[in-house]
Structures are given as structure tokens and as C-alpha cells.
Amino acid sequence: MTFTLRNLYEADILQVSEIEREAFPTIWPRTSFKRDLTNRRISYLVAALLHPPEAVEEPEEEPIHPFLGREPIPLRLIRNFRDRLWPQGVPHKPTNDTPLGFVSVWFITEEAHITAIAVKEAWRGQGLGELLLIGAIETAMHRKSRVVTLEVRVSNVSAISLYEKYSFKRVGTRKGYYTDNRESAGIMTTEPIHGLSYQQRFSELREAYLKRRGSVEMSLKLASA
């Protein structure tokens, strides 16, 4: 199996909303993913199962006009001009993968706040949570955030262990934070992520993860702040 880490696209919203409902059944109101896609202070990343590419026919070099044989010159000029302005076209969802989890990151002043990491229940234990965390930290580094922070249930030992692995430290508590059972949340924050020691530690962990997993494609398009 090959996994990919990429940006969220509008065509993912239905599947990602289902993942959110499964992981956080009591959350209300539900996340407005479509609205958030236009918010530069919010970033969503998706971990997906990559399917083998299907064979496709090679397109013709130049579109054929149904009446004139070749594309009319004015249309060709317009298309060429458009391609120069937007060389990559409008981003669209890859057709050969299935979203299995997502992470959301809010950028507030110098802080990157991870608001949610969710993975389909059937795919937990496959390392996707760690992949999403790596992507969130990379995004924060690119956006020049000073630290990364998050909340975690105080009883979620496995998640806390993962965050501690990436140098998150507990700095406080939010009493009764979770509405379903009034459980408290631990507030965890990294040291400055652009410090040499953190950069080296993160690079080692990232490379170790990719070497251990063996079949992960990273295809993030990171936007500046």
C-alpha cells in the first residue's frame, strides 16, 4: 500500500466530513470545510490511500476543431495566454486516491495551532496520524510560525506519546474542555521550531518515518503566509 500526503480539495469535502463525524461524533457545529478552503489562515492536509494509476490514452498534441480541422488561431492565442498566466491551472483533486484522514492547522500570529487530527477508525494504527503531524509541522515551518500547539485529551496516552516524540511539552490544562464527557485537555506546545536543535530532531524523525513506511508520497503545495 502506498499513502500520500497532500492538500485538501473541494471534492474531498464529503469524505473528510464523514471522517470528522466518525472521529468527533459530538462536535457541533460541524466544520465548514468549503468556507475554510478560502481562508489563508487555515490549512487542511489529507492522508490518502494511493491507487495504482489506470492506463490512459495520450492526448493529441493540438485540439481538433470540428469544422476547421485545427483549433482556430484566436482560440489558440487565448489558450496560450491563459496558460502563461496560470501555468498549473485550477487545483483539482487527484482521481486516484481515497482520503483516510486529515489534519487542520490554524495560523494565529506566530503560533500554528493544530485543531484536529482524525483518521478513519478502520485505518488507525497504520502510522497515518504521525504522517499528518509531520505535514502539519512542515506547513508551520513554511509559514514561519514560531511554535506549534494543540490540545489533547488527558486520557489519550497514545496521542500524547506521539506528540512528545515530536518534542511537544505539556504547558497547561483546559478543565472540562471536551463537551461529551467534560474531560480536561492538556495544552502541548513545541519549542521554537526554527531553532537548530528542533530542525535537526524533526528532520531525523521525518526521515526515519519515511524510511520505516517505505511507500509514502509527499505532494504538499505550501502557501506562504
Residue 77 has pLDDT above 80, yes or no: no
pLDDT (0 to 100) of residue 28:
87
The pLDDT score that the predictor gives to residue 121 is 95
At residue 59 the predicted structure's pLDDT band, cuts being 50, 70 and 90, is low
Rounded mean pLDDT of 109-115?
96
Which CATH entry fits the domain spanning 2-53+94-219: 3.40.630.30, 3.30.70.20, 1.10.10.10, 3.30.2130.10? 3.40.630.30
- pLDDT value at 86 more than 70: no
Q: pLDDT grade, residue 129 (50/70/90)? A: very high
pLDDT band for 141, please (50, 70, 90 cuts): very high
Sheet with 216-219, strands from edge to edge, namely 169-174, 185-189, 147-153, 111-119, 97-108, 42-50, 2-7, 216-219
Segment among 149-158, 187-196, 212-221 with least mean pLDDT = 212-221
Per-residue pLDDT, averaged over 102-119, amounts to 97
> Cα-flanking dihedrals φ and ψ of residue 171, to 5°?
-120, 0
pLDDT of residue 84: 47
DSSP letters spanning 143-206 = TT-SEEEEEEETT-HHHHHHHHHTT-EEEEEETT--TTT---EEEEEPSPTTSHHHHHHHHHHH
Specify the higher pLDDT residue, 21 or 66.
21
Residue spans of the domains in the chain: they are 2-53+94-219
Specify the pTM.
Answer: 0.81
Assigned C-alpha cell, 25: 461524533
Question: Mean pLDDT score of the chain, rounded to an integer?
Answer: 85
**Residue 220, all three cell numbers:** 504538499
pLDDT in tens, 158-198: 999 999 999 999 999 999 999 889 999 999 999 999 999 99
Task: In whole angstroms, give the CA distance from residue 202 to residue 87.
Answer: 33
In this structure, what C-alpha cell is assigned to residue 129? 496520524
Query: What cell was used for 95?
Result: 482521481
Mean pLDDT, rounded, for 61-82: 50
DSSP track, 78-125: HHHHHHHHSTT-S----SSEEEEEEEEEEEETTEEEEEEEEE-GGGTT
